[in-house]
Amino acid sequence: MTDLAHLSTTLEQAIAGAKDEAALDTVRVSALGKKGSVSALLATLGAMTPDERKERGPAINGLKTHIATLIETRRTALRAEALEQRLVAEKLDVTLPLRPAPAAMGRIHPVSQVIDEIAAIFSDMGFSIAEGPDIETDYYNFTALNFPEGHPAREMHDTFFFNPGPDGARKLLRTHTSPVQIRTMEKTEPPIRVVMPGRTYRNDSDQTHTPMFHQVEGLVIDKSSHIGQLRWVLEEFLKAFFEVESVTLRFRPSFFPFTEPSMEVDVQCDRSGNEVRIGQGEDWLEILGCGMVHPNVIRAGGLDPEIYQGFAWGMGIDRIAMLKYGMPDLRAFFDADKRWIDHYGFRPFDLPTLFGGLSS
């Protein structure tokens, strides 16, 4: 019996020392397999005498049962350990916060933001928003705006023309938002107070020019409008837009076919640092063009210039966005670079308001 006790101890130690199921299976085969140590003992029972078989048989079968039970117990323990290790390695921490919602991750393009700011400011002044088509006729884009035949703006190097139609006329991508002035006068009874933001197109491209850009124009038509009102409107707009206490404007004589007199407007600023600061300093920056609406334009809009007069102004939305938010290159506006929009973009649903702050 001593040999059975020794074999039992040896197998028990081997089973307890098995680190995984593969090692445990090796112990099982070496003990209970066809050529295993316990199986070899069972094979000797046939050669024993009945008395020896009666004594040795129960002991050997008991060893077999004992070893099989230890192996199964150890297998269950190894599987539990393996499962625990896998759970630790593959666990998902459900207590972590959710990813930001799309509305929190998305950003409003600076041009869209500035258009909303412009609308908020002029709506507070009693202006309405007017829009028109991007594809225009020569009449609305040039002729009705007092552009004479042969004017340089009609040439191909400035304007994107379409192929001539069946009637020989060529449509074009509008070069300014001024055609909306004519369309508004045609369908609206004065007094008229509108602003017209939108896309415009010219064949030009560099750091401060792109083939497609954005403009906003304003138009006031009634029986008693004058330049003093124009100056007040522009001053109030620039103060609100750049969020400063005051601005100083300088009006210089200029020429536009659709206004008479015509003026370029400069705003006082500070250029001493990396950014242009409006409302302070001793420098000047050209900001927009304006003037009293030309009688021929009023007449083209279907109104009598002997009764009605008005003023208009226009500026580049992209340019004033660059000035306000410190963006150095206009071309980046249209590159569709997510890193740029993440940096310069605005949070959704933070609509600009005069009482809440335009750019808060």
Instruction: Give 25-34 pLDDT, tens digit per residue.
Output: 887 888 777 7
| pLDDT: which is higher, 44 or 132 | 132
Mean pLDDT of 65-87: 85
Q: What DSSP letter does each residue of 19-35 carry, written as one string?
A: -SHHHHHHHHHHHHSTT
In sequence order, what are the residues at sequence separation of 6 or more whose Cβ sits closer than 8 angstroms to the Cβ of residue 355? none
pLDDT of residue 282: 87
Q: What DSSP letter does each residue of 62-128 carry, written as one string?
A: HHHHHHHHHHHHHHHHHHHHHHHHHHHHH---TTSPPPPPHHHH--B-HHHHHHHHHHHHHHHTT-E
Q: Is the dihedral of CA 110, 111, 114, 119 positive or negative?
A: negative
pLDDT of residue 18: 83
Q: Are 214 and 117 in contact (CB under 8 A)?
A: no
Q: What is the CATH T-level fold of the domain 109-344, as seen in this structure?
A: BirA Bifunctional Protein; domain 2 (3.30.930)
The answer to pTM > 0.85 is no
The closest alpha carbon to 158, from 170, 174, 178, belongs to: 174
φ, ψ of residue 344 in degrees (nearest 5): -100, -10
Kindly calculate the radius of gyration of the chain based on its CA atoms and give it in whole angstroms. 43
Q: Which two tokens stand for residue 39?
A: 């199986």
Residue 151 above 80 pLDDT?
no
- Please name the amino acid found at residue 177: T
Please write the tens of the pLDDT for every residue from 299-344: 999 999 999 999 999 999 998 998 888 888 888 888 888 888 888 8
Residue 288 above 80 pLDDT?
yes
Residue 1 above 60 pLDDT?
no
In sequence order, what are the residues at sequence separation of 6 or more whose Cβ sits closer than 8 angstroms to the Cβ of residue 27? 11, 14, 15, 18, 71
pLDDT of residue 204: 73
pLDDT of residue 359: 64
- Please name the amino acid found at residue 295: P
List residues bridging with 196 in a β-sheet. Answer: 217
Task: Write the DSSP symbol of residue 162.
Answer: P
In this prediction, residue 295 has a pLDDT band, given cuts at 50, 70 and 90, of very high
